[in-house]
Amino acid sequence: MAFIVWALLLFLLHLPTIATGSSAHFGGNNTVRCHPNQAAALLQLKQSFFWVNSPVILPTWQDGTDCCTWEGVGCDASSHLVTVLDLSGRGMYSDSFEPALFSLTSLQRLDLSMNSLGTSSTTKDAEFDRLTSLTHLNLSNSGLDGQIPMGINKLINLVSLDLSKRYVNDNSDISFNESDDEIIFTGDSYNHLQESRLMSLVENLSNLKELYLDHVDMSTNVDDWCKTLAQSVPRLQVLSLDGCSLNTPIHHSLLRLHSLTVINLQSNPGIAVNLFPDFFMGFANLTVLRLSHNNLEGWFPDKFFQLKNLRILDLSFNMNLLGHLPKVPTSLETLRLEGTNFSYAKRISSSNFNMLKELGLEGKLISKDFLTSFGLIWSLCHLELLNSELLGDSGSNLLSWIGAHKNLTCLILSEFDFSSTKPSSISNFKNLRSLWLFGCNLTRPIMSAIGDLVDLQSLDMSNCNTYSSMPSSIGNLTNLKSLYINSPGFLGPMPAAIGNLKSLKSMVFSNCEFTGPMPSTIGNLTKLQTLEIAACRFSGPIPYSIGQLKELRALFIEGCNMSGRIPNSIVNMSKLIYLGLPANYLSGKIPARLFTLPALLFLDLFGNHFSGPIQEFDAVPSYLMSLQLTSNELTGEFPKSFFELTSLIALEIDLNNLAGSVDLSSFKRLKKLRDLNLSHNNLSVIMDDEGDNSSSTYLSELKELGLACCNITKFPSILTRLSDMSYLDLSCNKISGNIPKWIWEKWSSSVVHLNLSHNMLTSMEVASYLLPFNRHFETLDLSSNMLQGQIPIPNLSAEFLDYSHNAFSSILPNFTLYLSKTWYLSMSKNNISGNIPHSICNSSLLVLNLAHNNFSGPFPSCLMEQTYFRNILNLRGNHFEGMLPTNVTRCAFQTIDLNGNKIEGRLPRALGNCTYLEVLDLGNNKIADTFPSWLGSLSNLRVLVLRSNRLYGSIGYTFEDKSGDHFPNLQIIDLASNNFTGSLHPQWFEKFISMKKYNNTGETISHRHSISDGFYQDTVTISCKGFSMTFERILTTLTAIDLSDNALEGSIPESVGKLVSLHVLNLSHNAFSGRIPPQIGGITALESLDLSSNWISGEIPQELTNLTFLTVLNLSNNQLEGKIPESRQFATFENSSYEGNAGLCGDPLPKCASWSPPSAEPHVESSSEHVDIVMFLFVGVGFGVGFAVAVQ
């Protein structure tokens, strides 16, 4: 399911047993008893499973009874030994393979598919090599992870091996039991296996006839898969390698497997060759060929259709595969050609397809001529068509042709435009049971007509464009069992008629734009077993009526703006297995009864506003396996009841306000715990007692540990006992000294994420500065420590590397060789010197931050010339010299920060190509040019800093297009300390559209990178005397203009008063004259105003008292006169705000007597005492920007 998240990875949710029953009663004589030791082993195996829907699993498995009569067990009639064990599809969970299983050495057939048997540690402990009599082994969809279990390669008698991750056919991961209409949730008990040596798996399996390895990751397989199979499994009849990431082209050596009848190689683009491999025609017995999604090219030979036994041919979604739709063998039952370049070149009759049941075609293939000559396919029950506009008569003819197929029960239409279609054309599909519409343009009348298809049992509308409300006619589909809608175009409320769909078993709404409250009629869907609603725009609480859904197994409501408390009615859902309410606005206390719902395995309340302490509860019996409470407002102490949730595998309660202490040894009863995250609370984690042997094995299964900001002072000693850690976050603590070598040695093959940032670490115990991490390693964060010497780097490249805020002094000379996968690299604020190697330009970095080091030499032009992928370039605070490149093409920059270097020359006009640019900071360099008005066309530009350069000329209204937008989204412009002259045109401020929009929403942006817990920040420095306020949130509203320390003259334009969202205005140290525009009093958001050291005269306008947020005012060293306003903020300013204006009087200056205008005095230039306001600009790659402010 799209939004049943990772938790279901561990478990196959089982409702009543699959229709087959899997009872294997061999030798029905009730007087025959199986061997006692095998009965005992089976009972021990039973004890290792649990099944949340019933306190009793495998009820026929009773001590003292004949195990040969037990369900799923079969025995040999003569020896009475157990030879068959079939427990498929029972939804049982076990955290490991029970050793007793491998004592059943007489087993010939073993099927544990569609259960959940654990993760990578499970496969390591398996002893399959003891089951030497096995001929059939099925572990598909059994929740396995990591390498293929050891020992399977020694089962020389195997005839059939299935280790697949096999997806169900619809989008909701469900199937219906035809006998009783129960839903079987396959959820995600999917395998996640990998195999780097196919040869080592199959070299001893010479008797193998069936091999199913679908979605086993073979991306690192070093063997030629075709030659390996041809050599090792010569008797193979069925080969299924769907989605295995095969990386070598298909080879004719495969033809040596002359017995092959089934070949499934779809979704392996790495096997593609220039021409279609025509040697497939050599498989005379071929009945099934699936090659979809493989980037196959060339001409598909017509002769292939002469294979007389061919039943299934799937060539779909090979866009460059050419061919004719020919005469086909009468045996063909499935033909999939959608997404190919096949054409209809001959007049052929549908009589050639008299056995065809499933057909997939490209919409452009279907012409009027096709429909006329082709006729009807009376056997057709499944039709999939891709991409057609359905215009005019041709559209009507096509839909009429579809509707004439009276046996058609399943119709899939992708990328069809129904905008010109008559609703009556849809109403003809009366016999449909399943209708799937993907990426279609739908009108409201068409959607209403769908409501006439009253026999529909499955309706799927994904990524469709509707832009209207959902019609109430959907309530007519009373036979509907599965409803899946993932389309952003549905507007308005969810219709109350949804409550009429009383046959529904599964309902999923995702990315719809429903508004208003969730209808209470949803409580009428009493047969519902799965309810998912995600990324909708509801308001209000979760309806209380939802508690009426007594059959519900999975309830998931994510990102839907739901507020209020969790309704008490939910705690009555005794069959609920998965409860997920993440990313909403739910509040109040978490009901303690949620933790003890009798069937609940997964509870996800991430990202809400739950508050208060968690009440203690009786944790027995509880099957809870995953508890996700991250990012709430929980307080109080860590609940002791959590230590009794003995089935827990994952516990995440980070980003809350829990206080007190937690002793890691308290988790000793949670022996299955693999994921523990206590980060970012107010907790103090007590380290284990290394001398206490009684607790030496606690947390022994741990794979992920988050203890960020937990007041720890050393590395937990338990880490030295863990060999397969994948995630470790010890950031924001007080750990000092060395980073121990066992981190690199013990976890080199397992670790994916390592964050040791914000500690007091000084050195690293490493044998080499090339860290020996595995190819899956993603994140290394060592920032904000006291590390010295050479920067270490993963030997196989990581995606996210942060070494900032340390004392590193050097890098490997060839470090760029190890950045092949890196997209984020920060080495800012270290002591690294030297040149940047040119080879860094060959990397795929999205973010490169080398700020505040001692890099020198010519500016590496290639960093800006090859920019079609780079988003952030920050080299500020170094010693780069030279000029910026003029050849900036295919620019994808969002941020360019080169502040504080020695860059000379002109600004390259090619920067105008950087249409995504949001931040440009070239301040504190030696650039000599005029004002870059040509940057005004960059509609995304928010920050422009050119201060302290050698810019000259006018910054007035000189642009040619006086009607167009000019810097329309600019929030900060800093041109201070240059040589600009002339006056400001009255319309100069008019063009700053963004600053003219009043915005006081305080909207917060918090875009984080998908891999790191951190975010990228830019620094923008603005001078403002005495400024002393701090914005702690990331706001989009801060705006500033600094034109100080230039030679601008003339009056200050009155239009500045239209910039109603301006926070900082600094025009000091210029030669402005005239009066202070009273319109400035309309800038009610203004917090800092500096007009000092100019020639401004007249009185201070009384309108400035409207600036109620003004905390900094500097009008010193001008020609102002008259009485200082007294009300509001003006009562808070000191003498320094007004000094150097001989004609001013009134508080805080001396009182006014008989005032008269003073004589003009020479303009006195005073020294400017600057205080730096550092504005942190947060930029998420691909997102917008926001600001926070701090004072330095």
Secondary structure, 3-state, 992-1057: CCHHHCCCCCCCECCCCCCCCCCCEEEEEEEECCCCCCCEEEEECCCCEEECCCCEEEEECCHHHH
What element of type H or E holds 921?
strand 919-921
Indicate the burial class of 1032 (C-beta count within 10 angstroms; 0-12, 13-18, 19 or more): exposed
Once rounded to an integer, what is the mean pLDDT over residues 994-1021? 53
At residue 696, does pLDDT exceed 80?
no
- Residues 344-354 have pLDDT tens digits of 765 666 666 77
Q: CA dist 482 to 24, 170, 344, 530, Å?
A: 32, 10, 36, 9
Amino acid at 57: I
Q: Which of 245-254, 974-983, 1175-1184 is least confident?
A: 1175-1184
- What's the pLDDT score for residue 500? 97
Tens of pLDDT, residues 197-216: 888 899 999 999 999 999 99
CA-angle at 986, arms to 984 and 988, nearest 5°: 65
Given a cut of 80, is residue 1121 above it in pLDDT?
yes
Mean pLDDT of 905-913: 93
| pLDDT above 50 for 1049 | yes
What whole-number percentage of the chain has pLDDT above 90? 59
Query: What's residue 52's pLDDT?
Result: 54
How confident is the model over 858-885, as a mean pLDDT?
88
The pLDDT assigned to 276 comes to: 86
Tell me the C-alpha distance between 268 and 872, whole Å: 34
Q: Quote the pLDDT of residue 862.
A: 87
What does the H/E/C string look like for 746-771? Answer: HCCCCCCEEECCCCEEEEECCCCCEE
Global pTM? 0.84
Per DSSP, the residues of 645-714 read -TT-SEEE--SS--EEEEEGGGGGG-TT--EEE--SSEEEEEPP-TT-GGGTTTTTT--EEE-TTS---S
Going by pLDDT thresholds of 50, 70 and 90, the confidence category of residue 195 is confident
Q: Which residue has the higher pLDDT, 715 or 491?
A: 715
pLDDT exceeds cutoff 50 at 1119 = yes
> If you average pLDDT over residues 914-939, what whole number do you get?
94
Domain residues of the chain, as ranges?
305-408
Per-residue confidence (pLDDT) for residue 366, from 0 to 100:
77
Tell me, what DSSP letter sits at residue 500?
Answer: G
Q: What is the mean pLDDT of the chain?
A: 85
Please tell me the predicted confidence (pLDDT) of residue 946.
97
Lowest mean pLDDT among 90-99, 289-298, 1127-1136: 90-99
pLDDT tens track for 640-670: 999 999 989 999 999 999 999 999 999 999 9
Pick the range with the lowest mean pLDDT from 322-326, 330-334, 1039-1043: 322-326
What integer is the mean pLDDT of 416-439?
A: 87
Neighbouring C-beta atoms of residue 691, cutoff 10 Å: 6
Tell me which amino acid residue 1120 is: L
Residue of higher predicted confidence among 865 and 391: 865
Identify the weakest region by mean pLDDT among 85-94, 443-452, 885-894, 992-1001.
992-1001
Question: Does pLDDT of 414 surpass 50?
Answer: yes
Residue 710 has pLDDT above 60, yes or no: yes
Q: Per mean pLDDT, which range of 256-265, 343-352, 799-808 is the poorest?
A: 343-352
State residue 1154's pLDDT score.
Answer: 61
d(CA 309, CA 637): 69
**Residues 6 or more apart in contact with residue 881 via CB below 8 angstroms:** 856, 857, 858, 859, 901, 902, 903, 904
Q: Give the per-residue pLDDT at 435.
A: 96
pLDDT value at residue 1021: 63
Q: Is the pLDDT confidence value at 1161 over 70?
A: no
Closest of 501, 511, 506 to residue 531, by C-alpha: 506
Question: 928-971, pLDDT tens digit by residue?
Answer: 999 999 999 999 999 999 999 999 999 965 545 454 568 889 99
pLDDT > 60? residue 1028: no
Predicted local confidence at residue 1011, as pLDDT: 35
Q: Is the pLDDT of residue 44 over 60?
A: yes
Tell me the HSE value of 413 on the side-chain side, using a 13 A CA sphere.
Answer: 21
Cα–Cα distances in angstroms (integers) from residue 613 to residues 436, 591, 596, 666, in the given order? 46, 11, 17, 19
Report the range of poorest mean pLDDT among 386-395, 476-485, 926-935: 386-395
